[in-house]
Structure 1
Amino acid sequence: MKITQTFDTTLMTKLNKTVQDEHVRLYPEVFNEYDFSSVHEALVQILKSGTHEVYLAEEDGEPAGYVWFERIEKPANAFKKEYRALYIHQISVLPSSQHKGCGTRLMEKVEERASELGIQRIELDYWSDNKSAKRFYEKQGFTVFREVVQKFV
């Protein structure tokens, strides 16, 4: 399995379909149906910021998945100490490459980048109905430190 940084927004957009479709399946009231053009334009804009990175996993020379994360740095203020983290926005592995170590290799790459950048915290969130994501992240050593709740009125 080969892991490399990518700037190929067309490929990223194609690979995004797996995760976007899962989000729509779980929460159709929240997520838009996958639309290549709008996802592509969003990714182009996101990568222009310079704080986002995307790494591609390839299996036998074929794309297998990606991880997209953002470097977040906030100065200390009256309420909080300085904050530095890598925030994982998405990890997506094609169904044919799942349960083969692809996701783990992508997460190892994020840890490697955090170490290179001198960042000690990696954060992410996932939707509560996504039980496979919960199991995967627990297996990767992630623990809950903040919870978000909602109330409809």
Structure 2
Amino acid sequence: MRRRLLSKRSTMCTSSMSIISPPATNVELRLANEKDLPAIADLWIEMMREHEAFEPRLRITPHAVYAYHSYLMLHVRGPKSVVVVMEDGGTIIGFCCAYVCQNLPMFLPAEFGYVSDIYVCPAYQHQGVGERLMRYIRQFFKGCGVQSVQLQVYRHNPKGQAFWKKQGFENFFDRMWLDLGQADHSE
């Protein structure tokens, strides 16, 4: 299955995309497969719990893990999407889900890369694991002909903000929130 997935990927974008060789550690990067989805969904829940701690407006449903599993399935199988994992001794310790988005028809570029989710277990943070995931994602997007990448990061997530800035990202626009249950400010 994994061999078939790798060859399928190479024909969808370009075959110049190769899995980055790991440094002298047990941590390895590889494409995710369907068997990985429960472990990735569990890591996603862990990430969401961390996010809920600093952003109380973020609330996930009781069935979020199942919904995210289905979401991942689309991206493991998608022609212009990728899910990669980092493994240490057979245990998934990080992942990234990314895909090519169609821009609105009145804007250029016509397509851009979008990083949906990235997470590295706390014990492996600040060891280059996230950077390795992003190097692969950049190569994937380049192979798809994408010239720019977008993502969202919570304003009250200073670790996330710092990571993305270190990766070369810059602020582009602000996404705003209005709780309609609060006082009406339209008058």
| TM-score (norm: length of structure 1) | 0.84
Name whichever of 133-142 and 52-61 sits farther off: 52-61
How far the C-alpha of 1:88 sits from its partner, in A, is 0.3
How far the C-alpha of 1:45 sits from its partner, in A, is 4.6
Q: Specify the alignment match of 1:83 in structure 2.
A: 110
Distance, in Å, in 2 between the alignment partners of 1:44 and 1:50 is 12
Q: Specify the alignment match of 2:29 in structure 1.
A: 3
Task: Determine helix, strand or coil for the equivalent of 1:9.
Answer: helix
Distance, in Å, in 2 between the alignment partners of 1:3 and 1:80 is 34
In 2 relative to 1, CA 6–98 (structure 1 residues): closer, same or farther, beyond 3 Å? same
Name whichever of 23-32 and 124-133 sits farther off: 23-32
In 2 relative to 1, CA 72–113 (structure 1 residues): closer, same or farther, beyond 3 Å? same
In 2 relative to 1, CA 37–114 (structure 1 residues): closer, same or farther, beyond 3 Å? closer
Which structure has the highest strand share of the two?
A: 1
In structure 1, stretches of 5+ residues that fail to align are none
How far the C-alpha of 1:48 sits from its partner, in A, is 4.9
Deviation readout 1:14-36 (Å, 9 max, x if unpaired): 22122111122222333216753
2:175 to 134, 148, 151: 148
1:29 to 44, 57, 60: 57
How far the C-alpha of 1:53 sits from its partner, in A, is 1.3
In structure 2, stretches of 5+ residues that fail to align are 1-26
Distance, in Å, in 2 between the alignment partners of 1:72 and 1:123 is 10
Q: Specify the alignment match of 1:18 in structure 2.
A: 46
Identity of aligned residues (%): 21
Highest Rg: 1 or 2?
2
Task: Determine helix, strand or coil for the equivalent of 2:115.
Answer: strand
Name whichever of 122-131 and 82-91 sits farther off: 82-91
How far the C-alpha of 1:56 sits from its partner, in A, is 0.4
Q: Specify the alignment match of 2:156 in structure 1.
A: 129
Native 8 Å contact 1:5 1:53 kept in 2: yes
Task: Determine helix, strand or coil for the equivalent of 2:50.
Answer: helix
Q: Specify the alignment match of 1:64 in structure 2.
A: 93
How far the C-alpha of 1:43 sits from its partner, in A, is 2.8
- What is the total number of aligned residue pairs between the two structures? 151
Q: Specify the alignment match of 1:39 in structure 2.
A: 68
Native 8 Å contact 2:120 2:129 kept in 1: yes
Native 8 Å contact 1:24 1:33 kept in 2: no
Distance, in Å, in 1 between the alignment partners of 2:62 and 2:94 is 17
Native 8 Å contact 2:32 2:76 kept in 1: no
Task: Determine helix, strand or coil for the equivalent of 2:131.
Answer: helix
